[in-house]
Amino acid sequence: MKKIFILTTLSAVSLMLVQCSPKSAKTVSKPAVKTHEGKVADIKKNFTEADLAEGKMISDSKCSRCHQLKMPESFSMNEWDNILLRMIPKARLDEKQASLVRAYILTNTKS
């Protein structure tokens, strides 16, 4: 009798364990490729409109010293990423100015 009781208890416990075991976690799949609008929105999360306006002012004054001012629309976000790596040191921007100029330019690209 006792044996049967233990057995039933055991099977009840194992049944509970099976039922309570976590369901295979569903992987939340993110879209592999972000749209341009998505990338712009991501940058804008970290900057206010005033930051972007300041970025424009810095760009207008510091990026027109050696050549005519280049418009954000003239290059894609990817192209700008590479260009800015070269131009930010040329313009001798400090870290804060660089991040503002980057944000202003990248959020005004068309692709």
Please give the span between the terminal C-alpha atoms of the chain, in angstroms, as a whole number. 77
In the complex, minimum distance from the CB of residue 105 to ligand HEC, in angstroms, rounded to a whole number: 6
Contact (Cβ atoms closer than 8 angstroms) between residue 81 and residue 73: no
Contact set for ligand HEC, span 35-54 (CB under 6 A): none
Q: Does 83 bind ligand HEC (CB under 6 A)?
A: yes
In the complex, minimum distance from the CB of residue 66 to ligand HEC, in angstroms, rounded to a whole number: 3
Q: Does 62 bind ligand HEC (CB under 6 A)?
A: yes
Cβ proximity to ligand HEC: between 44 and 81 the closer is 81
Alpha carbons 51 and 49: distance in angstroms, whole number: 5
Three-state SS at 20: helix
Q: Does 85 bind ligand HEC (CB under 6 A)?
A: no
Of 4, 88, 9, 94, nearest to 105 by C-alpha is 88
Question: Which residues are near ligand HEC by CB under 6 A?
Answer: 59, 62-63, 65-67, 70, 75, 83, 86-88, 90-91, 101
